[in-house]
């Protein structure tokens, strides 16, 4: 199995992109932090450690390009930031669907659920509606274990 650097080089070439250090570093930063859901600025900070000369504008342009090619995914987790994670095409395991996200309304932590819990629903939709589901995104809002155990949690409403 090729190492991730070689795998990312191959992915970039397959998508007609020039292989650049910046693109590889951004993909690596996201893959190395699968549960972090990084903002562009956080990606910039990660990449800057290895490439101090990189500019924030370069990171934004690269993220946009990689997102358009589905190598990385944009996420809106309801906190006012656009966040990113490695996309299904960029994943080593080539997972068919996205994982699901659990978002704590109190502490804003985001937890990942790896199980695809909607397979039965997708099959039913296919049978009844003759509609093929190829992807989905699930966000569930509630309170994490730590916040549920705090005496004065603040209730927030989803708008």
Q: Which two tokens stand for residue 13?
A: 């070439």
Indicate the CATH number for domain 97-159: 3.30.1490.190
pLDDT tens-place string over residues 58-69: 999 999 999 988
- Average the pLDDT over 75-102 and give the result: 72
Fold of the domain spanning 1-95: Arc Repressor Mutant, subunit A (1.10.10)
Cα–Cα dist 79/61, whole Å:
22
Task: Compute, in degrees rounded to 10, the torsion defined by CA atoms 70, 76, 31, 115.
Answer: -90
- Print burial letters for 68-106: b (CB count within 10 Å at least 16), e (below 16): ebebbbebeebeeeebbbbbbebeeeeeebbbbbbbbbb
Q: How far apart are CA 84 and CA 74, in angstroms?
A: 5
**Higher confidence at residue 95 or residue 144?**
144
- Residue 127: predicted pLDDT: 94
pLDDT at 159: 45
pLDDT-based confidence at residue 41 (cuts at 50, 70, 90): very high
Residues of the chain with CATH 3.30.1490.190: 97-159
pLDDT averaged over the chain?
83
- DSSP string for 88-111: TTT-TT--SSPPEEEEETTT--EE
């Amino acid at each position: 199995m090729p190492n991730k650097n070689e795998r990312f080089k191959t992915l970039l070439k397959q998508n007609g992109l020039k292989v650049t250090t910046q693109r590889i570093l951004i993909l690596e930063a996201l893959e190395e932090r699968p549960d972090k859901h990084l903002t562009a600025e956080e990606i910039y900070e990660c990449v800057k450690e290895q490439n101090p000369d990189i500019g924030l504008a370069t990171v934004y342009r690269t993220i946009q390009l990689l997102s358009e090619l589905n190598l990385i995914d944009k996420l809106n987790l309801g906190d006012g930031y656009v966040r990113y994670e490695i996309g299904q095409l960029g994943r080593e395991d080539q997972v068919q669907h996205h994982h699901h996200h659990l978002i704590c309304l109190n502490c804003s932590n985001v937890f990942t659920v790896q199980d695809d819990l909607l397979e039965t629903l997708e099959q039913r939709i296919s049978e009844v509606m003759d509609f093929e589901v190829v992807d989905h995104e699930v966000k569930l809002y509630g309170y994490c274990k730590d916040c549920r155990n705090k005496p004065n949690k603040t209730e927030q409403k989803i708008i």
